[in-house]
Amino acid sequence: MYCLQNLPRSSVSPLLTGFGGNQRDLSSSSLKMLLPIKANDPKSRLVIQVVSDSKSSSEMSGVSKEEEKSDEYSQDMTQAMGAVLTYRHELGMNYNFIRPDLIVGSCLQTPEDVDKLRKIGVKTIFCLQQDPDLEYFGVDIRSIQAYAKTCSDIQHIRCEIRDFDAFDLRMRLPAVVSTLYKAVKRNGGVTYIHCTAGMGRAPAVALTYMFWVQGYKLMEAHKLLMSKRSCFPKLDAIRNATIDILTGLKKKTISLKLKDKGFSIVEISGLDIGWGQRIPLTLDKETRFWSLKRELPEGQFEYKYIIDGEWTHNELEPFTGPNKDGHTNNYAKVKCSG
Which residues does the annotation mark as catalytic? 195
Residues 15, 127: Cα–Cα separation, whole Å: 23
| CA neighbor of 5 nearest in space, from 80, 73, 86 | 73
d(CA 221, CA 57): 35
Nearest CA to 19 out of 182, 203, 167, 219 is that of 167
How many whole angstroms separate alpha carbon 92 and alpha carbon 321?
Answer: 41
Residues 6+ apart with CB under 8 A from 14: 20, 21, 22, 82, 166, 302, 323
Give whole-number Cα distances, 170 to 19, 73, 124, in Å. 10, 23, 23
**How many of the other CB atoms lie within 10 Å of CB of 337?**
6
